[in-house]
Amino acid sequence: MAHTNTEHEVLAVVFQVRQGEAPGARRKPALHVLLWQRALDPERGKWSLPGGRLGADEDLTSSVRRQLAEKVDLRQVAHLEQLAVFSAPDRVPGPRTIASTFLGLVPSPATPELPPDTRWHPVSDLPPMAFDHGPMVEHAHNRLVAKLSYTNIGFALAPGEFALSTLRDIYSAALGHPVDATNLQRVLERRHVITRTGTTARSGRSGGRPAALYRFADSRYRVTDEFAALRPPG
Amino acid sequence: MAHTNTEHEVLAVVFQVRQGEAPGARRKPALHVLLWQRALDPERGKWSLPGGRLGADEDLTSSVRRQLAEKVDLRQVAHLEQLAVFSAPDRVPGPRTIASTFLGLVPSPATPELPPDTRWHPVSDLPPMAFDHGPMVEHAHNRLVAKLSYTNIGFALAPGEFALSTLRDIYSAALGHPVDATNLQRVLERRHVITRTGTTARSGRSGGRPAALYRFADSRYRVTDEFAALRPPG
DNA sequence: GCAAAAGTGTTGAGCTTACACCCATGT
DNA sequence: ACATGGGTGTAAGCTCAACACTTTTGC
């Protein structure tokens, strides 16, 4: 059995919940993914996940962090975890390259500076994707949905302090279905995932009761309830 | 950034539920993992997962299948899926080697021929393991436990036809806690994971009502209920 | 008849969604 | 006052664990 040298690359699927950019319309926040547009062949003009070749003395995680630093302020990336490996021999042209994919999460209010070729795209409406990067996004999204149920991973999408309605919007965007703020509160409080700060937000210009502010109890990834579920309505 | 060539290996954590080998005692089936003992340094005498270097024209899955064929009859491996990548630069001596790990499952009654250096070890009592193979087994076990709840993955551990008490023993061994046969039946039947064959087994020598036989409806991996849970007692 | 093993019925607990109702604030 | 958004209480449903009880066999 011949062993040619294989390249190894890492690719990151970085998500953030952001307001849509429709100016007039009522903009609901939606889940977005960070992509850059290829200026050169192959697959010129199509959109790619950030990443690149693995360095000699790096493990995968260090490599992702290094490569992401070229696109976003790393301090904004609150969570990073390994996903699947894509290894089809012909998945990219040129030397045989194995790709390890990662899931990255950026909290909501942050708006990192982006290079000119790089943009946030709504996950529900992806542009033409290079190579096998489309399925990678899908895979990452599935993982995110699953982990929102049974871990505290929401901390990596939410601001430091937030009203419950804000958190509901974030969960709703990430899960892809409506979420009841009432129940979200009880579920997350019972598991001690979120706690009240004691302070309240000010009401908007149209009035309304001021919202109590919450924060995530832990800002480190934790499995909170192995058997929990946030089910879609109906 | 220098890019040295990195090797890539695949390693398989292959599980089977087997009777313990205590001769006199009441032998309860337990979850076992397939290991081979290293005859040469490094880590001579310690136990390793089956696997080896990735070939030039293989994707990861083909490579695992090829390498496993040296240890067990491949037709016995009813399920194979990707797990995590281990990439610490110094995880093994010599050239930098990245390991992709896999979970493999072998149905219960099969007893494949094994090479002389290869044996089944109970997961609850592992021998000294080479390199980072110990944590790999643990990771695979966690994945198996999780998937038994919300997928039909049990088909890959169970015989083609089986009594419910047999299935209970298998689930119990794999999950690591007692399982009630009554409830297992209802849970798996409601989800159409198992169906009755219509036939029954003969009673043992000590009498008892003959058991109805079941089979898995699908012998292909399937997510049966995203939010299901088989909880430990208590 | 009696022990052993399998299968059924029933209860109760836990968690979740759904929704009606009450509270606090701005104009 | 009233509209607006936030928060609480409560009911109903689903799923699962627990366990007593019935059925069917061998000796």
Q: What is the pLDDT of residues B154-179, one digit of tens each?
A: 999 999 999 999 999 999 999 999 99
- B203 falls in which pLDDT band (50, 70, 90)? confident
Residue spans per domain, chain B: 7-149, 151-216
Q: What's the mean per-residue pLDDT of chain B?
A: 90
Judge: A60–B87 Cβ closer than 8 Å, yes or no: yes
Nearest to B103 by CA among B182, B156, B52: B156
Chain A residues touching residue B7 (CB < 8 angstroms): 3
Residue A24 is predicted with a pLDDT of: 43
- Fold that domain B151-216 belongs to in CATH: Arc Repressor Mutant, subunit A (1.10.10)
Nucleotide nearest to A205 (CA to C1'): C26
* B145 in contact with chain A, both atoms CB, cutoff 8 A: no
Distance from CA of A98 to the nearest CA of B (A): 9
Range of lowest pLDDT (A156-160, B106-110, B133-137): B106-110
- How many Cβ contacts (< 8 angstroms) between chains A and B? 76
Chain B residues touching residue A11 (CB < 8 angstroms): none
On whether the CB atoms of residues A36 and A50 are closer than 8 A, the answer is yes
Nearest to B108 by CA among B175, B30, B16: B16
Taking all atoms of strand C, which protein residues have CB closer than 7 Å?
A: A 180, 182-183, 186-187, 190, 200, 202-203, 205-210, 225, 228-231, 233-234; B 163-165, 181-182, 185, 200, 203-204, 206-212
Nucleotide nearest to A191 (CA to C1'): C15
Alpha-carbon distances of B137 from B15, B173, B202, rounded to whole Å: 9, 15, 37
Tens of pLDDT along A183-228? 999 999 999 999 999 999 887 777 778 999 999 999 899 999 999 9
pLDDT(B26) > 70: no
Residue A25 is predicted with a pLDDT of: 42
Proportion of chain A above pLDDT 70, given as a percent: 94
* A142 in contact with chain B, both atoms CB, cutoff 8 A: no
Nucleotide nearest to B184 (CA to C1'): D16
Low-confidence ranges of chain A (pLDDT < 50): 24-25
Using CA atoms, how far apart are residues A107 and A162, in angstroms rounded to an integer?
12
Using CA atoms, how far apart are residues B66 and B74, in angstroms rounded to an integer?
9
Alpha-carbon distances of B221 from A159, B148, B152, B216, rounded to whole Å: 39, 11, 6, 11
Judge: B85–A96 Cβ closer than 8 Å, yes or no: no
Q: Does domain B7-149 have CATH number 3.90.79.10?
A: yes
Which candidate from B3, B55, B60 shows the least CB-CB separation from A3? Answer: B55
Q: Which residue has the tokens 């309860």?
A: B28
On whether the CB atoms of residues B50 and B63 are closer than 8 A, the answer is no
User: Nearest residue to nucleotide D13 when comparing alpha carbons to its C1'?
Assistant: A234
Judge: B3–A55 Cβ closer than 8 Å, yes or no: yes
Assessment of whether the complete model's pTM goes beyond 0.95? no
Judge: B87–A3 Cβ closer than 8 Å, yes or no: no
Residue A21 is predicted with a pLDDT of: 65
- B202 falls in which pLDDT band (50, 70, 90)? confident
Nucleotide nearest to A204 (CA to C1'): C26
Nearest to A6 by CA among A78, A77, A95, A101: A95
Distance from CA of B228 to the nearest CA of A (A): 8
Tens of pLDDT along B45-97? 999 999 999 988 889 999 999 999 988 887 789 999 999 999 999 999 988 89
Residue A114 is predicted with a pLDDT of: 82
Residue B25 is predicted with a pLDDT of: 42
User: Nearest residue to nucleotide C9 when comparing alpha carbons to its C1'?
Assistant: B182
Chain A residues touching residue B57 (CB < 8 angstroms): 89
What average pLDDT does range B101-108 have in this prediction? 95
Residue B24 is predicted with a pLDDT of: 41
The 10 Å CB-count burial string (b at 16+, else e) for A2-14 is eeeebbbbbbbbb
Distance from CA of A170 to the nearest CA of B (A): 21
Residue A4 is predicted with a pLDDT of: 58
Residue A64 is predicted with a pLDDT of: 95
Residues A7/A134/B141/B87 CA torsion (nearest 10 deg)? 20
Nearest CA in chain B to A66: B1
* A89 in contact with chain B, both atoms CB, cutoff 8 A: yes
Residue B21 is predicted with a pLDDT of: 65
What average pLDDT does range B130-151 have in this prediction? 96
- B27 falls in which pLDDT band (50, 70, 90)? low
CA atoms within 13 A on the CB side of B19: 11
A171-176: long-range contacts, CB 8 A cutoff, minimum separation 24: A171/A230, A173/A17, A173/A28, A173/A29, A173/A30, A173/A31, A174/A15, A174/A17, A174/A31, A174/A144, A174/A145, A174/A148, A175/A145, A175/A148, A175/A230, A175/A232, A176/A31, A176/A124, A176/A145
Residues B173/B28/B212/B183 CA torsion (nearest 10 deg)? -40
